[in-house]
Structure formats: structure tokens, C-alpha cells
Structure 1
Amino acid sequence: MIRDTTLAPYSKWTKPFVSEVAEVINLLKDNGYDSNQLVSVTGIQQKNVNAWTARYKNEPDNVSTIPYPCWCFLSALAGKPNIQSDGEVIEVNVRKVLSYFKPTAFRPNDKFVCPTSEQFSNLIDNDNYEALTTEKLSEVFHWNATNFAHGISQGSLPFLNWSLIVMTLGIDIQKMILKELQAPVSID
């Protein structure tokens, strides 16, 4: 069982136990995604998953080393999106936002093409979207603001970061990334 305090904004967040991270990973595996497929569609390396779930069978109450953004991402893939904002999304015209980007920006990691800096400029640090600034997003997800801004300006933002931004707009990243799921997955 996953504790509610792990599914909270960063300021209230309790790091999950290794058993809780393993529960999410196992839920995804039980629904058709083996380790290799998870690496392919999420970009999260198996060595990281192993580190985050180390010794979960023998020492399930050890605190995981999983970073907050990665936990937000895995939680969303397991049916609990937007824990960083207590489930709230940023109100935008999703169709308009989608029009800023090529369809390849909304695919799993193995088919993802990062948006360009010009495409990002339509959405992030744009006067039209007050909540979508590098500073605010960095604060919400506990990112290094300088690295995040650099990724935006270079059009080299990591897939996980992009997925979290997309999620904040109310786009279902579970459906975007886990195309082979036969039914929605939920940790509830």
C-alpha cells in the first residue's frame, strides 16, 4: 500500500519506501510492461529502478532514493497524475497548446522528438501562461532551474521533464506513454 504522504506536493512530500516504488513498478509490469519495455517507453534506466527499489523484499521500509520528479512521473503512469499540485491542472486551451508542437512530442520516449526552443517559447516563459515559467516549474518539480532553462533554450529537455509539463496541462501521460495498456492502471 502506498502512503498518501508520498503522493503530495514537494513541500509536504514524504519519500516513498523502496517497497512503494517497487509496488508501482510491479503494477506496470503486471499490466504488460516488462523491464525492457519500461526502459524503452519511459527512458528510466533499469539501474535507477534497481537503486530506487533496492532490497525491497528484505527491507521494505527502507526509504527510497528516488528523486521527486521521477516519483511524480511514475505515480502518473500508475494512475495518480499531478501529485505535485494535489491533482490540479493548469488551465489552458489544450488544443491550442497541442498546435504549438509536432505530434512526435507526444509519444513514448522511444519515439519522442524533443520540441525545439522556438516551440517551447510558445508555452514556457510566455506571457500567455503565467504558471508556465522555468522558475515556477522548477520550484514545483524541484528541478535545477538553470539546467531546466538550458534544456528549454537548447531544445534538449529530457523526456521525463517534458512529460511532467504536459501532465500539468491535463494531458494523460499514461495514455501518451503506455500505449500497450489494455486498461487504465491505478494505484488507488
Structure 2
Amino acid sequence: MVREATLTPYSRWAKPLVSEVAEVINLLKDSGYDSNQLVSVTGIQQKNINAWTARYKNEPDNVSTIPYPCWCFLCALAGKPNIQSNGEVVEVNVRRVLSYFKPTAFRPNDKFVCPTSDQFSDLIDNDNYEALTTEKLSEVFNWNANNFKRGIDNGSLPFLNWSLIVMSMGIDIQKMILKELKGPVSLDECD
């Protein structure tokens, strides 16, 4: 069971136990994604997953080393999006936002093409969306603001970061990334 304290905004976040991270990973595996497929569609390396779930069978109560953004991402893939904002989404005109980007920006990691800095400029750090600034997003997801800004400016934002931005606007990243699910996936069903 995943504790509620792990499903909160960063300011109140309790790091998950290795057993909780393993539960999320196993839920995704039970839903049709083996380790290689998870690496391919999420971009999260197997060595990181191994580190975050280290010794969960022998020492399930150890605190995981998983970073907050990665935990938000995995929880969203397991049917629990937007833990960083208690389930609230940034109010945007989704059709308009989708028109800023090529369809390849909304694909799994193995088919993803990062948006350009010009495309990002329609969404982030402009007057269109008050909540979508490098500073605010960095604070919400505990990102290094300088690295995040550099990724936007260079059109080299990591897939995981882009996915979290997309999720924060109410776009279902589970459907965007996990196109071959055997059925609905939800952490709520595990509790």
C-alpha cells in the first residue's frame, strides 16, 4: 500500500519506501509492461529503478532514493496524476496548447521529439499562463531552475520534465505514454 504522505506536494512530501516504489513499478509490469518496455517508453533507466527499489523484499521499510519528479511521473503512470498539486490542474485551453506543438511532442519517450525553444515560448514564461513559468514549475517539481530554463531555451528538455508539464495541464500522460496497457491502471485499486 502506498501511503498518502507520499502523494502530496513537495513541501509536505514523505519519501516513499522502497516497497512503495516497487509496488508502483510492479503495477505497471502487471499491466503489460516488462522492464525493457518501461525503459523504452518512459526513458527511466533500469539501474535507477533498481536503485529506487533496492532490497525491497528484504528491507521493505527502507526509504527510497527516488527524486520527487520521478515519483510524480511514476504515480501519474500508475493512475495518480498531479500529486504535486493535490490533483488540481493548471487551467489552460488544451486545444490551443496542443496547437503550439507537433504531435511528436505527445508520444512515449522512444518516439518523442522535444519541442523547440520557439514552441516552448508559446507556453512557458509568457503572459498566456501565469502558473507556467520556469520559477513556478521548478518550485512545484523541485527542479533546478537554471537547468530547466536551459533545457527550454535549447529545446532539449528531458522527456520526464515535459511529461510532468503536460500532466499539470490535465493531459493524461498515462494514455500518452502507455499505449499498450492491458486495462486501466490505478494505484487506488491497490489500496
Shorter-chain-normalised TM-score: which range? over 0.9
Tell me the number of residue pairs that the alignment of Structure 1 and Structure 2 aligns. Answer: 188
Q: Does 1:96 align with 2:96?
A: yes
Match of residue 18 from structure 1: 18
Match of residue 47 from structure 1: 47
SS of structure 1 residue aligned to 2:104: helix
Identity fraction in percent: 86
Match of residue 150 from structure 1: 150
Match of residue 129 from structure 1: 129
Q: Structure 1: how far apart are the matches of 2:141 and 2:134? A: 11
Q: Structure 2: how far apart are the matches of 1:185 and 1:126? A: 35
For residues 132-185 of structure 1, the C-alpha deviation after alignment (integer angstroms, 9 at most, x for no partner) is: 000000000000000000000000000000000000000000000000012220
The runs of at least 4 aligned residues of structure 1 exceeding 3 Å deviation read none
Match of residue 81 from structure 1: 81
Amino acid at match of 1:170: G
Q: Which runs of 5+ in 2 are unaligned?
A: none
Q: Structure 1: how far apart are the matches of 2:184 and 2:65? A: 27
Q: Does 1:36 align with 2:36?
A: yes
Amino acid at match of 1:78: A
Amino acid at match of 1:10: Y
For residues 102-125 of structure 1, the C-alpha deviation after alignment (integer angstroms, 9 at most, x for no partner) is: 000000000000000000000000
Write out aligned runs for 1:170-181 (5 A).
Answer: 170-181=170-181
Amino acid at match of 1:182: K
Q: Structure 1: how far apart are the matches of 2:183 and 2:168? A: 22
For residues 10-40 of structure 1, the C-alpha deviation after alignment (integer angstroms, 9 at most, x for no partner) is: 0000000000000000000000000000000
Amino acid at match of 1:45: Q
